[in-house]
Structure 1
Amino acid sequence: MKILFMGTPEFAVPCLDMLVNEGYNVIGAVTQPDKPKGRGHKLSQPPVKEYAVSKGIPVFQPSNLKNGSFKDDLENLNPDLIVVVAYGKILPKYILDYPKYGCINVHASLLPKYRGAGPIQWCIINGEKETGITTMYMDEGMDTGDMILKKKISIGEDETAGELHDRLSVLGAEVLKETVGLLEKGPIPREPQPHHEATYAPMLDKSISRINWSKPAIEIKNLVRGVNPWPVAYTYYKDQCMKVWSVDIEECCTDEVPGTILKYINNKGLAVKAGDKYCIIIKEVQFEGGKRMGIDEYLRGHSIIYGECLS
Structure 2
Amino acid sequence: MGTPDFSVPSLKKVIENYNVKAVFTQPDKPKGRGKKMCASPVKEVALQSNIKVYQPVKIKNESEIIDKIRKIKPDFIIVVAYGQILSKEILDIPKYACINLHASLLPKLRGAAPINWAIINGEKFAGNTTMLMGVGLDTGDMLLRQQVEITEEMTAGDLYHILRNKGADLLVETIDKYSKGIIEPEKQKDELSNYAPMITKNTGKIIWNSASKKIENLIKGLNPNPLAYTSYKGNIMKIHKAKSMDVDSKKVPGTVLKADKMGILVACKEGSLLINVIQFPGKKAMNVEDYIRGNDIEEETVLV
User: Which TM-score band applies after superposition, normalised by the shorter structure?
Assistant: over 0.9
How many aligned residue pairs are there?
303
Corresponding residue SS for 2:21: strand
Shift of residue 122, structure 1, vs aligned partner: 0.7
2:39 paired residue among 45, 59, 81? 45
3-state secondary structure, aligned to 1:7: coil
Residues 147-226 of structure 1: matches in 2 within 5 Å? 147-226=142-221
Aligned equivalents of 2:125, 2:105: Cα separation in 1: 9
For 1:232 and 1:53, the matched residues in 2 are separated by 33
Matched, 1:119 2:114: yes
1:279 shift after superposition: 1.1
CA distance in 1, matches of 2:7, 2:221: 20
CA-to-aligned-CA distance 1:199-243 (integer Å, 9 cap, x gap): 111111111100001100000000001111221100000001110
Aligned-partner Cα distance in 1 for 2:221–2:227: 8
Amino acid at match of 1:244: I
User: How far does residue 265 in structure 1 lie from its aligned partner after superposition?
Assistant: 4.3
Q: 1:297 aligns with which of 271, 277, 290?
A: 290
Match of residue 62 from structure 2: 68
Structure 1 residue 66 displacement after superposition: 2.3
Name which of structure 1's ranges 71-80 and 25-34 shifts more when overlaid on structure 2: 71-80
Deviation at 1:253, TM superposition (A): 3.9
Q: Which residue of structure 2 aligns with residue 283 of structure 1?
A: 276
For the 8 Å contact 2:103–2:163, the answer to whether it is kept is yes
**Separation in 2 of the partners of 1:138 and 1:75?**
17
Partners in 2 of 1:190 and 1:249 — Cα distance? Answer: 41
Corresponding letter in the other structure for 1:96: L
Amino acid at match of 2:54: F
Q: Secondary structure at the match of 2:47?
A: helix
Q: 1:84, CA displacement in angstroms?
A: 0.4
| Structure 1 segments of 4+ aligned residues over 6 angstroms from their partners | none
Partner of 1:3: none
**Sequence identity percentage:** 47
Cα separation, 2, equivalents of 1:17 and 1:122 = 27
Secondary structure at 1:111's aligned position in 2?
coil
Once residues 153 and 206 of structure 2 are traced to their aligned partners in structure 1, the CA distance between those partners, rounded to angstroms, is: 17
Q: Distance in 1 between matches of 2:132 and 2:144?
A: 10
Unaligned segments of structure 2, at least 5 residues: none
Q: Distance in 2 between matches of 1:43 and 1:35?
A: 5
- Which has the higher mean CA deviation after the structures are superposed, 128-137 or 246-255? 246-255
Task: Give 3-state SS (helix, strand or coil) of 1:283's partner.
Answer: strand
Q: Which residue of 2 aligns with 1:19?
A: 14
Q: Which structure 1 residue ranges, 5 or more long, are not aligned?
A: 1-5
Query: Is the contact made by 2:96 and 2:179 (CA closer than 8 Å) also made in structure 1?
Result: no
Select 1:31's aligned residue among 6, 18, 25: 25
> CA offsets, 1:74-101, max 9 Å, x none?
1232211101001011111111000011
Across the aligned residues of Structure 1 and Structure 2, the Cα RMSD in angstroms comes to 1.1
State the Cα deviation string for residues 158-203 of structure 1 (Å, max 9, x = none): 2111110010001111111211110232352211111111111111
Contact 2:259-2:297 within 8 A present in 1 as well:
no
TM-score calculated relative to the size of structure 1: 0.95
1:245 paired to 2:240 = yes
CA distance in 1, matches of 2:158, 2:301: 33
Give 1:301 shift. 1.6
Give me the whole-angstrom Cα distance separating, in 1, the residues matched to 2:247 and 2:260.
12
Counterpart of 1:95 in structure 2: which amino acid? I
Indicate which of 230, 233, 241 corresponds to 2:228: 233
Match of 2:90 in 1: 95
SS state at 2:171 partner: helix
Aligned-partner residue type, residue 267 of structure 2: K
Residues of 2 paired with 1:116 and 1:133: CA distance?
13
